[in-house]
A and B are shown apart, each in its own frame.
Chain A
């Protein structure tokens, strides 16, 4: 459009001397009037196109942002097991893609749009100039193109600094500002230490960046001089042509404006956006290439386990770790009974749960359900049979209803079902106190949302597991289910333990004897093996590791009344 405008101004100027001579009534006068009308139309069209472009580009920007983030999520979900999280290399790749995708790939769209707009203006100007003077146009297009490339490459050099290297500085900034660290930052008086470290990290990275940017000033100066020389030659030739009448005044006007507009060919407008937007794409594609799906069709697990779940000679080691967690591990769990697993931190308790739920696969040996190899079962179908509360259960910043109904995502049930399981989990009072009932968002970050305490969250997590049970799960797995409950709530929960686990195969992991002793059977893990196995009474009687720890604790609860 600007080029059309320049051409019209050329026409206008070309016919003006005629108008000066003959007035507006002459043929030249008509042309001038026509040119003026066309100028008006051009400008209006330019505005309309600009507005439409703006709307479309911005929407496309957002769409692309959402699209790429969605692809990262899909990639993160591609495996049913935790390979992507546990394998250090894959985890690093995932982490990187997740981080960079958040930088807003949509900028790519804005960048391309901005870039194309100026480039198009520059090209149109080149066409105009070329119409009168092809050689000048070609020379300048090439020159500006070279300059543009040189400028661009120096941007590219600057880019790699944006993402990873500055992360450490960003992390230090978080420590200094955000609530998670606020207490200890103050207790230990870390403010200045963090500020110094932050500045050091930043200066180190930015110093490199500045050096990279500086490197091309010389090249640019040389290029600038060449461009200047070319322009001087062209303009001098133009002046001579104009003076000698070889080129009309109109042509001179158009060419001079065109020369000015052609500088847009080297414009870096939008380049930074393109850069920022393009950075995440390769990382996301690479992640997608690295993650192979692992779900193969298998036999349905409906109604399982009817008889037993068994670990047979299982070895397991986390990828990238030297020491195995389990070696030649055997364990039979009878369906319909409750089993407690105890052991020191790092004894492999949680790993057992991950193996049982198909989140990890044994390196050697077999896990069977009713005699069927777990890896031949349909994993989703098997998981529908499981209700699991992890120690680090999730706190969904969503309405209460979703927090509980997520226990049975395929058949979420209605509010009555949600309230029923909440009641059984001891969360009825808590739900009743919510301002908007089951639709209350459980996070103060949303309007009408509320903040829950650790103990309250624990009950919600328990209700979620009970929702799974309600919709057909037959195995209840609880990893430290009472860690956040106070004495009274814990006692209350375990008074109802038998009632809650009736008819289920229950596996509970806990440090707390109050939790553990109600189980039909207790196994003690140490160094990836079972060292003791029996009921609470049997183990206390045997006076091994379990009995000794129990007695040590019990001594602390002896009162004079006893």
Chain B
């Protein structure tokens, strides 16, 4: 496997630390209960041996005491098992939640899109989510491991008390332990081999049951095809696992047989000693029962090792993601968010260096940016000045680098070469979160936040997230008041059909809400509009842009605010003060509409292509 990134030891240490922080009381209780359980389990054999000897030798007091111990042991083991599992369940829940919460904060505070756009990071993130259950087992399996260790030690002591030769018994268990690593590898090999079929199977399942996909699947009559393919993928997954499992079980069988030889040998040994009078009958009972437990312990510790490795691999994913997040610059501020029951400390991004207004504007100096895995950079050596107070339109063919430019301005990407300067300050030196408090954005591939409309729009400005007036004003600016009127509960309408009373919106309607969200901040220094109106008709887009240009225009002029618009529609584009024409990652042309038409270059050509529809 390519990953098993940080060491298991570090993962184990982290998990224990998390458990301790998540719930001290239960962590302590778990430890105590485990010890009691282990003691009671191992000592049962001792009591039983004493009981038998007592009975044979007619020592009444001894028999009675051993009997009492037996009764208490049985009930204690069951009781501790019950109590322990409850305590452990809650402890696990809390530990796991703490971890999720911490990861959420860490990833959420990474300034760039690094984690979400790097395929390997994203894969780890998805695995982390999918294997959540394994991950949740990390604490219990650590506890079980502790239990096993205690019992092994106790068992060894007791066996040694019968005959030191019996201490050789665990040696016969070595093959089982050694092979368990192999079996564990087989397990991950199976998961790896079955990964693509599994992914395909769940893709087919999601496709078949997706609400939006239902139309097309029916019209193209693909129902049976999908079912057949799904069944075939599952068949293959099973084949992969069964063949590997047979191999794994064979290994196991061999190693266990080795142990059985040792086990029988030890019984024969003690039986023989009893026969010659060197041991009591009680010792035989003790040995038989304890040795049987050794089998369980060896099997258990072999399985446990596998299990522990597996869960620690899952826990390792958290550490991997934590490392990546910290490396990408997450959480410059202290993450004291570790106690579940306490709210996060109020995070105030470092505002120093972020200007109150723009006079100089934003300058790109020799900016180059490429996506990992692509040979050619998407933007190459781009230098561009966005003067304060202007509206800038960016046009160009698909793949010319328009969206990349927008993301760079938002600080979602960092240039690989060159600098972006805001009022002369390098954007990389500003606190990304502080800079973003002064900008706003709307995207074509906007996010669907399935909250109540109020929050779906309101999160555009968290300081007014629950303010209905602010949301209404923003929706008005977005030209979406008619949509609001059509919703059954107005701003309180729950969005998303899978929630109780949630309603579904069309693509255009979702887009209008996204624009409304972008309009929540009334006077950002930089507004980025990356084709947010693609699903809306040309006239509405034109109106929207014209309205934005007029509304609060005075405030923007005074603060020197810049609006950047990406659009395919030249009816809107021509309104901009400055038009940037991108081609193949570079700036092909630059100027106002009239200048560019007069230049009769790429812009004029594209404009003419579109204009033909209107002649």
Interface code B506-531, partner A: CB below 8 Å = 1, 0 otherwise?
11110000100100000000000000
Chain A residue at minimal CB-CB distance from B343: A196
Q: Is B446 an interface residue (CB 8 A)?
A: yes
B437 touches A260 (CB 8 A): no
Nearest chain A CB to B271's CB is how many angstroms away?
6
The contact string, 1 if C-beta is below 8 Å from chain A, for chain B 78-113, is 110110011001100100010011011101110101
Among A32-40, A300-308, A367-375, A498-506, the one that faces the other chain is A32-40
Chain B residues within 8 Å of A73, by CB: 204-205, 208-209, 226-227, 230
The answer to whether B82 and A76 touch across the interface, beta carbons within 8 angstroms, is no
Query: Which residues of A sit under 8 angstroms from B68, Cβ to Cβ?
Result: 232, 235-236
**Interface size range of chain B in the complex:** 35 or more
* Distance in angstroms between the alpha carbons of A51 and B255 in the assembled complex: 12
How distant is the Cα of A396 from the Cα of B203 in the complex, in angstroms?
9
Q: Is A327 an interface residue (CB 8 A)?
A: no
Taken together as a complex, chains A and B put the C-alpha atoms of A177 and B109 apart, in Å, by: 10
CB pair B613 A483 closer than 8 Å: no
Q: Is A559 within 8 A of B70, CB to CB? A: no
Assembly CA distance A341 to B70 (angstroms): 85
Contacts of B220 in A (CB 8 A): 383, 388, 406-407, 409, 464, 468
Contact present for B462 and A409 (CB under 8 Å):
no
CA distance A220 to B87 in the complex (A): 14
Residue of B nearest to A103 (CB): B133
Which of A224, A239, A488 is B55 in contact with, Cβ under 8 Å?
A: A239
Q: 9 closest A-B pairs (Cβ-Cβ)?
A: A191-B108, A514-B613, A556-B571, A242-B55, A66-B234, A554-B614, A557-B611, A179-B116, A231-B71
* Complex CA distance for A354 and B219, rounded to whole angstroms: 10
Contact A253 B52 (CB under 8 A): yes
Give the residues in chain B near A179, CB-CB below 8 Å. 113, 116-117, 122
* B497 with A191: CB separation less than 8 A: no
Partner of B221, one of A9, A209, A409: A409
CB contacts (< 8 Å) of B571 on chain A: these are: 553, 556-557
CB neighbours (8 Å) of B55 from chain A are: 239, 242-243, 249, 252
CB distance B108 to A98 under 8 Å? no
B 344-366 to A, binary, CB cutoff 8 A, 1 in contact else 0: 10010100000000000000000
A74 in contact (CB, < 8 A): yes
Contacts of B58 in A (CB 8 A): 243
In the complex, chain B residues whose CB is within 8 Å of the CB of A194: 104, 108
Name the residue in B73, B74, B606 with the highest tally of chain A Cβ atoms < 10 Å from its Cβ: B74
Known contacts: A39-B264, A183-B412, A186-B436. The answer to whether A177 contacts B104 by CB under 8 A is yes
Contact indicator B227/A213 (Cβ below 8 Å) = no
The answer to whether A383 and B614 have CB atoms under 8 Å apart is: no
B430 at the binding interface (Cβ < 8 Å): no
Other contacts beyond A239-B67, A252-B51, A252-B55: 14, CB < 8 A: A62-B238, A69-B205, A76-B214, A183-B113, A196-B343, A202-B97, A220-B82, A256-B52, A260-B74, A263-B74, A345-B509, A345-B536, A489-B398, A559-B611
Asked whether any CB of chain A lies closer than 8 Å to the CB of B574, the reply is: yes
Q: Are B462 and A189 in contact (CB under 8 A)?
A: yes
Which residues of A in the span 114-154 have a Cβ within 8 Å of any Cβ on B? 147, 151
Are B48 and A253 in contact, with the CB atoms below 8 A?
Answer: yes
- Judged by a CB distance under 8 angstroms, whether B428 is at the interface is no
Size category of the A interface is: 35 or more
Q: Which A84-101 residues have a C-beta within 8 angstroms of B?
A: 84-85, 88, 91-92, 94-95, 98
- Asked if B539 CB lies within 8 Å of chain A CBs, one says yes
Report the minimal beta-carbon distance from A480 to chain B, rounded to whole angstroms.
8
| B4 part of interface (Cβ distance < 8 Å) | no
Q: Are B344 and A511 touching (Cβ within 8 A)?
A: no
Q: Are A48 and B108 in contact (CB-based, < 8 A)?
A: no
With A44-B260, A55-B242 in contact, do A188 and B462 touch (Cβ < 8 Å)?
Answer: yes
A257 and B289 in contact, given A36-B268, A88-B497 (Cβ under 8 angstroms)? yes
A253 to B63: give the CA distance in the assembly, Å: 12
B77 proximal to A (CB < 8 A): yes
Q: Assess the A549–B44 pair: CB atoms within 8 A.
A: no
Residue of B nearest to A19 (CB): B275
List the A side residues contacting B249 at CB < 8 Å.
Answer: 51-52, 54-55
Determine how close the nearest CB of chain A comes to the CB of B132; give it in whole angstroms. Answer: 9
Please name all residues of chain A whose beta carbon is closer than 8 Å to the beta carbon of B227 when the two chains form the complex: 70, 73-74, 77
A224 touches B79 (CB 8 A): yes
Q: Are A406 and B613 in contact (CB under 8 A)?
A: no
For A77, give its contact among B97, B100, B208, B246 (CB under 8 Å): B208
**B597 adjacent to chain A (CB < 8 Å):** yes
Task: Return the CB mask of B240-277 against A: 1 if under 8 Å, else 0.
Answer: 01100110011011001100100110011001001101
Q: With a CB–CB cut-off of 8 A, which chain A residues contact B465?
A: 193
CA distance A543 to B565 in the complex (A): 31
- The answer to whether B443 touches A184 (Cβ under 8 A) is yes
* Minimal beta-carbon separation of A60 from chain B (angstroms): 10
> Does A185 have its Cβ within 8 Å of any Cβ on chain B?
yes
Whether the pair A9, B289 counts as a contact (CB closer than 8 A) is yes
Cβ of B439 under 8 Å from chain A: yes
Asked if A235 and B109 make an inter-chain contact with CB atoms under 8 angstroms apart, the answer reads no
Q: Across the interface, which residues of B come within 8 angstroms of A485, CB to CB?
A: 398
CA distance A354 to B249 in the complex (A): 55
**A432: interface (CB < 8 Å):** no
The stretch among A309-317, A328-336, A416-424, A441-449 that forms the contact with chain B is A441-449
Q: Is A156 engaged at the interface, CB distance under 8 Å to the other chain?
A: no
CA distance A505 to B389 in the complex (A): 51
A43: chain B residues within 8 A (beta carbon): 260, 263-264, 295
Residue among A48, A58, A393, A556 facing the most chain B CB atoms (10 A cut-off)? A556
Contact code string A204-242 (vs B, CB < 8 Å = 1, else 0): 001001100100000010001001100110111011001
Q: Is A82 an interface residue (CB 8 A)?
A: yes
CA distance A480 to B79 in the complex (A): 66
Known contacts: A85-B214, A234-B71, A553-B571. The answer to whether A257 contacts B199 by CB under 8 A is: no
Q: Are B78 and A263 in contact (CB under 8 A)?
A: yes
User: Could you tell me if A54 and B441 are in contact, using CB atoms closer than 8 angstroms?
Assistant: no
Bound Cα distance from A266 to B78, whole angstroms: 8
A485, B462: Cα distance in complex, Å = 35
**Contact (A242, B63) CB under 8 Å given A171-B450, A190-B459, A257-B48:** yes
One of A191, A242, A257, A359 near B109 (C-beta < 8 A): A191
